[in-house]
Amino acid sequence: MAVIDLRSDTVTRPSQGMRAAMMAAPVGDDVYGEDPTVNRLEQMAAALTGTEAALFAASGTQSNLLGLLAQCGRGDEYIVGQQAHTYRYEGGGAAVLGSIQPQPLELHADGTFDLEQVRAAVKPDDVHFARSRLLALENTHNGRALPLEYLGQAHACAREHQLRFHLDGARLCNAAIHHQLSVGQLCQGFDSVSLCLSKGLGAPVGSLLCADQEVIAEARRWRKMLGGGMRQAGILAAAGIHALEHQLERLAEDHAHAADLARGLVELEELAVEYAESQTNMVFVTLPPEDAESLPRFLGERNIRIPSGKRVRLVTHLDIDAPAIQAVIAGFKAYYSRQNLSR
């Protein structure tokens, strides 16, 4: 029986079509700039985001890091969400490898900063302070698409303070589908955008840093230094091309499945279900503390994988269809009807 894995949209496996595209990919040495498939993917990503150029990177962590390293120097700082991936979950890479100081600020639940706090955090030009150099946003944040109005306001704030403007767009395509806008429209104003292929888009590997030629040339240098210059990487890039061509529009299905899941789980009074209007492919559920371990175990025995903990994130993706959603809802209901019988 197939496992229904709701832990993340990174768990998808390449389809037969994607594998065939990878097998057939023309390749060359990408460090020499000679891999035609990588070059094509980079051109596609630049066109998609409306930027001059793009660079294929091993992961979202790497493309975010390249964006920071290419635009900030030793003793600079970047302003970033306290809960943002670029600050919290990337091993402190910018500080460790670039001597770039993070200035984390609390994010609201919808992924937005209080822009007055951002303004207050920008340091004056004074020898006591790091130089405030860059503002980083994340779209989607915890599966929530950033409000369109806010994007313009954050851009104005960055410009007002001469900050570079970076977007961790690991799931930017989900945001575009949510707003029914093009990816390029959501990239307007940003100096650099990191776009992941290995989340909802369903490729096994890869992210792209998209920016102007100058930033990409600098990022290419850093990528080589980090050991990220790959050779016949077209095998991997082909999966990314396949994903962009065949698996972008279908993100709408993941969003519909997440909404169905939320609607089903909300019927259980034991659960507190968070599913905001701006939500895309994630549902957050707070469980009674006593169920934090036993519910995931119970579901696991039924081939349904969710994280353990009191507040769990359930993520829909390419390998989760409508019957799987119904099976998950039924699994939760079975657990609570059994619990209620024994109470």
Ligand X SMILES: Cc1ncc(COP(=O)(O)O)c(C=O)c1O
Residues that bind ligand X (CB under 6 A): 10, 59-61, 85, 138, 168, 170, 196, 198, 207
**Which is closer to ligand X, CB of 207 or CB of 316?**
207
Shortest CB 197 distance to ligand X, Å: 9
Least spacing, CB of residue 140 vs ligand X, in Å: 8
DSSP conformation letters of 281-295:
SEEEEEPPGGGTTHH
DSSP codes, 23-41: HH-----GGGT--HHHHHH
Least distance CB 265 / ligand X (angstroms): 22
CB of 23 to ligand X, least distance (A): 23
Residue number with the smallest Cβ distance to ligand X: 60
How many angstroms separate the Cα of 307 from the Cα of each of 33, 78, 286, 302?
Answer: 41, 31, 12, 14
For the chain, what's the residue count? 343
- State in angstroms the smallest separation of the CB of 72 from ligand X: 18
Residue 241 and residue 47: Cα distance in Å, rounded? 13
Amino acid at 300: G
Residue closer to ligand X, measured from CB, 11 or 31? 11
Considering beta carbons, is residue 170 or 239 the nearer one to ligand X? 170
Contact 90, 113 (CB under 8 A): no
Query: Is the CB of 60 or the CB of 67 nearer to ligand X?
Result: 60
10 vs 39, beta carbon nearer ligand X = 10
Contact 331, 302 (CB under 8 A): yes
CB atoms closer than 10 angstroms to residue 120: 9
Residues 331 and 172: their CA atoms lie apart, in Å, by 31
How near is the Cβ of 10 to ligand X at its closest, in Å? 6
According to DSSP H, which parts of 180-248 are helical? 183-187, 213-225, 234-246
Would you say 51 or 280 has its CB closer to ligand X?
Answer: 280
